[in-house]
Amino acid sequence: RDKLLAQLRLGWSHEYADTTRPVSVSFVGAPASPFTTYGVSPTRDGAVVGFTTSTAVADAASIYARYEGNIAGQDSSHAFTAGVRVAW
């Protein structure tokens, strides 16, 4: 108990595949008239970051908080989690 565990994660992500995102579709009422649309191309490179902290609150229980992020230009995703871990 009384120990605070901290972990830091740093990384890099790279998209090796083609970054164009075409979608070819047609309307139900006009299946002979398909069309293709392109979504926004994702950023090829990004930073992956994470931070976790936890501490024991009993012999078999601990609490934790975690942040995970992927930052790539205008694109980013962030996740925050917290919880209780019990072992038996």
Predicted TM-score (pTM) of the model is 0.68
Q: Read off the pLDDT band of 16 (50, 70, 90).
A: confident
**Tens digits of residue pLDDT in 17-74:** 877 778 899 999 988 999 999 887 778 899 999 999 999 999 899 999 999 999 988 8
The count of domains in the chain is 1
Neighbours of 52 (CB within 10 A): 15
pLDDT at 68: 97
- What residues form DSSP beta bridges with 80? 67
